[in-house]
């Protein structure tokens, strides 16, 4: 009996050993077969997942984000232990013990799968976190035996090469957790608006509940399923000793509390951020912008940007109200018991902004009762709707209204805004059809401090600062007059504001430009001609100096590129962009230097390496530097305009504010220079103004060009927006004067004649004229001498006559 038992034991042990050997041989063959063409896991050393590119303001607020995968890469030592423990409890309890594979977990999964046979349930996996890293990084998601074998081989190999901490870091940054969240840092922000170190146990458990099925247990769409899965994770955390009994009890009882990322975490400047995004794509490529996690520091100044948006909107609304009310958005039946639901479902305009929808409940002569969404009641008093005279036809409005009945009736759906001083008082509003743009530049550096490309980005992302081509009108005159200064004229020089006729070529009627008011001033100084924006003297001037130098100046300053050869360019008939025109004035404000507008200050890659900087400053007196004081920095740019000629233009443009078409800005009591602009039939209106610290360009016009109104101009539309901006934007800054170059002498002259001031000159006519020292010997003719010439006396050949220019040019002026 004992002998038979020994023989049986021998046979069984032999079979076991033989089976083990055969199994080992088979296993080795499997490993050799499936291990031949495995991906190189060493690529994990250079793991560079798609990450968020972030744009920041000057003060460090997030301006915008761009990414194909919303991911914020986080190092292992920055991940709280609570979160690591939550994922270990949920996904791989033996993570820190096994070598990539967990036999116990595999056996447990196999048993569950056997029990579930025929129950139409998905098979349960026994994958470790290491295996999930392999699947996510190196293999596909196909459910095949060969893929599982390759996954196991790679998991084992990786566990021998990389630390557990590195594997966990890869896993927690790569996983998708729903809600456009890749990795735990992004998920914490998107679900809870928290940083990782701010999460509590139930929030960490909810994140750990998501990897298995982020859509199925989505806490936004399926809060019940999400809570069940979260509480299971919490129970696992308790079993593993990661949380206490008290923490378990509190956490499992809590409801899921989600918070969207606060809009206050972002500084919204949509036109600006879109300009930056496009510039980044041009500089670095689309893949870099959406995948490389660039850190972009822009030049947007939060305060300036907010004021620019506010003043542009107010200016456009002011114009729109002045030109009448276009009527209610629609109507609903107030008698219908469900009218409040009808109001709630009424389609809102895309650019509604801070306005609210309201339904008219009752109308009498002096007031209108309204109801807002949610049932809140209010009243519009007559003073807050009296602007609403009805439009009769394009750009024409009727007489002022005398009763609210004239514009509103019961059931109308309208837009309103709350009157701040009275809680239930509202004002009638409408969204303007007119549009515009404003851009703010910093002289010397060229930084774009603010950019608003239209009334509403939500309605139209077309950027009227960088994309719209519009005629600058009289704003362009400044550059023609700059050419005159370069060609020997000075501010005292005499030009002729008289009728002029120019031939447009065979078969074409002559061009007879005119002044805006149809009047003539005769012989006037070059300064007065520009200050008063006289068209006829400007056309006379370009016939004297010629087209070529004017075209060269426009290209030198970046206003145009290869413009048509046409004398109407003197009056701004060729299209340019708001940014191009504003920067041309920025060059003047910068002392005639080649300054380029820049939206981006500097860019870093994801590892913190500086890869771009727009800072052109250099250190002065480098040889004399010492460690006791920092070096003085200066901007080094090419000199595009002689500094003395440039200052003469600044001085004339200051006169535009003091005595000319922009005199309304004189109320600001600041050093300001600038130029208004209005195109033919008032299609486009402009003002570009500046001081030594800031340049502000404002444009107003319809996107589909049409007249703004016969009496509208740059002075009435664009200039008030500029004034409002300066009032707010510079209210806490000291006034600075422009620096007078050494080559300029400030001479007292008679502004009316350009002659040197004498004791007989009216003190009100005396101004300090900027004369180049090389021109001090020159003397302007007196008005009497000029009139003698015009009346046919000696030198009558100087009288303006018709010029046959043999040029084609349009009738725009």
> What's the chain's average pLDDT?
86
Q: What strands lie across the sheet with 448-452, from one edge to the other?
A: 448-452, 435-441, 694-701, 684-691, 673-678
Beta carbons of 367 and 382 less than 8 angstroms apart: yes
Higher pLDDT, 55 or 141: 55
Query: Which pLDDT does position 38 carry in this prediction?
Result: 57
- The encoded tokens of residue 618 equal 């250099």
| Angle, in degrees to the nearest 10, between helices 145-161 and 129-137 | 110
User: How would residue 803 be classed by pLDDT, with cut points 50, 70 and 90?
Assistant: very low
Residue 482 pLDDT greater than 80, yes or no: yes
Dihedral sign (CA 308, 313, 318, 319):
positive
C-alpha span between 258 and 263 (Å, rounded) = 15
- Given a cut of 80, whether residue 786 has pLDDT beyond it is no
At residue 543, the pLDDT reads 94
Reported as a pLDDT band with limits 50, 70 and 90, residue 789 is: very low
Mean pLDDT to the nearest integer, 618-642: 67
Residue 667 has pLDDT above 90, yes or no: yes
Residue 492 structure tokens: 């005292």
Q: Where are the beta strands (DSSP E) in 547-620?
A: 600-604, 610-613, 617-619
Helix (H, G, I), strand (E, B) or coil at 281: helix
| Contact yes or no for 638/328 (Cβ under 8 A) | no
Contact, 300 vs 448, CB < 8 A? yes
How many whole angstroms separate alpha carbon 498 and alpha carbon 487?
22
Distance CA 809, CA 564 (A): 9
Dist. CA 219–CA 178, nearest whole Å = 9
Q: What are the sequence ranges of the domains in the chain?
A: 71-260, 326-429
In angstroms, rounded to a whole number, what is the distance separating the alpha carbons of residues 424 and 376?
Answer: 9
Residue 674 · residue 650 · CB < 8 Å: no
The whole-number pLDDT of residue 507 equals: 81
428 in Cβ contact with 416 (< 8 Å):
yes
Among the ranges given (443-452, 510-519, 667-676), the one the predictor scored with the smallest mean pLDDT: 510-519
Higher per-residue confidence, 54 vs 112: 54
- The whole-angstrom separation of Cα 125 and Cα 118 is 17
Express each pLDDT in 76-119 by its tens digit.
Answer: 999 999 999 999 999 989 888 887 677 665 556 556 555 555 55
pLDDT for 112: 54
pLDDT at 335 over 80: yes
Given this model, what pLDDT does residue 17 score?
61
pLDDT band at 809 (very low <50, low <70, confident <90, very high): very low
In angstroms, the CA 55 to CA 292 distance is: 13
Pairing type for strands 367-372 and 377-381 reads antiparallel
Would you place residue 135 in the very low, low, confident or very high pLDDT band (cuts 50, 70, 90)?
confident
> Is residue 476 helix, strand or coil?
helix
Report whether 684 contacts 699 (CB < 8 A). Answer: yes
Question: How confident is the model at residue 136, as a pLDDT?
Answer: 65
Q: Which CATH superfamily is domain 71-260 in?
A: Biosynthetic peptidoglycan transglycosylase-like (1.10.3810.10)
Lowest-confidence segment of 44-58, 128-142, 349-363, 406-420 by average pLDDT: 128-142
Contacts of 8 (CB under 8 A, 6+ apart): none
Range 473-480 average pLDDT: 98
**Per-residue pLDDT band at 469 (split at 50, 70, 90):** very high
pLDDT in tens, 673-701: 999 999 999 999 999 999 999 999 999 99
Three-state secondary structure readout of 619-653: ECCHHHCECCECCCEEECCCECCCHHHHHHHHHHH
* Averaged pLDDT for residues 6-20: 61
CA–CA gap between residue 32 and residue 37 (Å, rounded): 10
Q: What is the pLDDT of residue 212?
A: 86
Tokens of 281: 């794509």
* HSE of 11, CA atoms in CB hemisphere, 13 A: 6
Whether the pLDDT of residue 15 is over 70: the answer is no
| DSSP-based three-state secondary structure for 791 | coil
Choose the catalytic residue: 127, 474, 554, 568.
474
Q: Which residue has the higher pLDDT, 119 or 799?
A: 119
pLDDT of residue 13: 63
Q: Any idea which of 229-233, 432-436, 511-515, 654-658 has the lowest mean pLDDT?
A: 511-515
Active site residue 728: no
Provide mean pLDDT across the span 209-220. 91
Residue 218 contacts by C-beta under 8 Å, 6 or more apart in sequence?
178, 179, 226
Reply yes or no on whether 186 is catalytic: no
From 20-34, 273-287, 292-306, 659-673, the region with the lowest mean pLDDT: 20-34
β-pairing, 448-452 vs 766-772, is: unpaired
d(CA 301, CA 579): 17
**Do 71-260 and 326-429 share a fold?**
no
Average pLDDT of 625-633?
Answer: 56
Q: Above 70 in pLDDT, residue 632?
A: no
pLDDT of 783 higher than 60: no
CATH code at 326-429: 2.40.50.140
* pLDDT tens track for 550-601: 999 999 999 999 999 999 999 999 999 999 999 999 999 999 999 999 999 9
What's the DSSP call for residue 123? P
Residue-wise pLDDT for 387-440, tens only, equals 998 766 655 667 888 999 999 999 999 999 999 777 789 999 999 999 999 999
Condensed to tens digits (0 to 9), the pLDDT of residues 725-779 reads 999 999 999 999 999 999 999 999 999 888 999 988 999 999 999 999 988 765 5
Spatial CA neighbour of 537 closest among 554, 559, 514, 508: 514
Label the pairing between strands 600-604 and 610-613. Answer: antiparallel
pTM of the model: 0.83
């Amino acid at each position: 009996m004992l002998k038979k038992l020994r023989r049986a034991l021998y046979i069984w042990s032999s079979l076991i050993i033989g089976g083990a050997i055969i199994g080992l041989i088979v296993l080795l063959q499997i490993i050799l077969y499936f291990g031949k063409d495995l991906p190189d896991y060493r690529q994990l050393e250079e793991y560079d997942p798609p990450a968020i590119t972030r744009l920041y303001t000057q003060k460090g607020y997030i301006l915008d984000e761009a990414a194909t995968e919303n991911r914020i890469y986080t190092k292992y030592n920055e991940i709280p232990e609570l979160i690591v423990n939550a994922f270990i409890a949920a996904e791989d309890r033996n993570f820190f013990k096994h070598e990539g594979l967990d036999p116990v977990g595999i056996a447990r999964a196999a048993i569950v799968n056997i029990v579930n046979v025929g129950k139409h349930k998905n098979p349960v996996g026994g994958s470790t976190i290491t295996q999930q890293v392999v699947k996510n990084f190196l293999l596909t998601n196909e459910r095949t035996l060969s893929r599982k074998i390759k996954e196991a081989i790679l998991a084992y190999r990786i566990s021998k090469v990389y630390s557990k901490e590195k594997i966990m870091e890869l896993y927690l940054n790569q996983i998708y957790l729903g809600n456009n969240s890749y990795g735990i840092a992004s998920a914490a922000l998107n679900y809870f608006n928290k940083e990782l170190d701010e999460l509590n146990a139930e929030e960490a458990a909810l994140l750990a509940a998501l990897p298995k099925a982020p859509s199925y247990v989505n806490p936004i769409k399926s809060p019940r399923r999400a809570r069940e899965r979260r509480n299971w994770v919490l129970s696992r955390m308790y079993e593993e000793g990661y949380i206490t009994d008290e923490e378990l009890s509190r956490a499992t009882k809590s409801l899921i509390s989600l918070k969207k990322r606060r809009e206050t975490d972002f500084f919204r400047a949509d036109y600006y951020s879109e300009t930056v995004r496009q510039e980044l794509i041009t500089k670095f490529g689309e893949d870099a912008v959406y995948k490389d996690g660039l850190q972009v520091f822009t030049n947007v100044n939060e305060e300036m940007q907010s004021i620019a948006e506010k003043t542009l909107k107010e200016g456009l609304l002011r114009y729109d109200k002045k030109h009448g009310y276009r009527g209610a958005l629609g109507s609903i039946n107030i008698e219908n018991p469900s009218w409040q639901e009808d109001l709630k479902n009424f389609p809102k305009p895309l650019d509604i902004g801070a306005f609210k929808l309201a339904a008219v409940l009752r109308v009498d002569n002096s007031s209108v009762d309204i109801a807002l969404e949610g049932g809140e009641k209010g009243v519009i008093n007559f003073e807050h709707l009296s602007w609403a005279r009805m439009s009769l036809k394009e750009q024409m409005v009727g007489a002022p209204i005398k009763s609210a009945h004239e514009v509103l009736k019961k059931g109308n759906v309208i837009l309103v805004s709350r009157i701040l001083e009275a809680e239930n008082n509202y004002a009638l509003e409408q969204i303007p059809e007119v549009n515009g743009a404003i851009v703010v530049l910093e002289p010397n550096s060229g930084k774009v401090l603010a950019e608003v490309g239209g009334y509403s980005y939500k309605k139209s992302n077309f950027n009227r600062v960088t994309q719209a081509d519009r005629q600058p009108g009289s704003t362009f005159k400044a550059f023609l007059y700059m050419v005159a200064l370069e060609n020997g004229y000075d501010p005292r020089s005499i030009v002729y504001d008289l009728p002029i006729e120019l031939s447009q070529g065979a078969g074409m009627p002559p061009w007879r430009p005119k002044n805006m008011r149809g009047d003539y001033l005769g012989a006037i100084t070059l300064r007065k001609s520009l200050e008063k924006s006289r068209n006829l003297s400007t056309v006379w001037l370009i016939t004297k100096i010629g087209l070529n130098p004017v075209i060269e100046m426009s290209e030198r300053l970046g206003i145009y590129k290869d413009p048509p050869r046409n004398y109407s360019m003197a009056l701004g008939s060729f299209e340019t962009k708001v940014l191009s025109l504003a920067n041309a004035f920025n060059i003047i404000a910068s002392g005639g230097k080649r300054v380029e507008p820049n939206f981006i200050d500097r860019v870093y890659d994801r590892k913190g390496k500086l890869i771009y900087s727009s800072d052109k400053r250099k250190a002065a007196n480098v040889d004399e530097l010492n460690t006791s004081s920092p070096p003085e920095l200066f901007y080094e740019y090419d000199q595009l305009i002689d500094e003395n000629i440039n200052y003469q233009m600044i001085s004339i443009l200051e006169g535009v504010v003091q005595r000319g078409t922009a005199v309304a800005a004189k109320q600001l009591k600041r050093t300001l220079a600038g130029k208004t602009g209005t195109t033919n039939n008032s299609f486009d209106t402009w003002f570009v103004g500046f001081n030594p610290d800031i340049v502000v360009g404002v444009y107003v016009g319809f996107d589909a060009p049409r007249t703004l109104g016969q009496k509208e101009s740059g002075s009435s539309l664009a200039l008030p927006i500029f004034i409002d901006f300066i009032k707010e934007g510079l209210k806490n800054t000291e006034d600075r004067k422009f620096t007078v170059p050494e080559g300029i002498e400030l001479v007292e002259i008679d502004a009316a004649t350009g002659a040197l001031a004498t004791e007989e000159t009216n003190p009100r006519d005396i101004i300090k004229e900027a004369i180049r020292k090389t021109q001090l010997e020159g003397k302007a003719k007196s008005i009497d001498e000029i009139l003698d010439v015009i009346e046919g006396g000696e030198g009558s050949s100087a009288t303006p006559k018709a010029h046959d220019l043999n040029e084609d040019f349009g009738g725009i002026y």
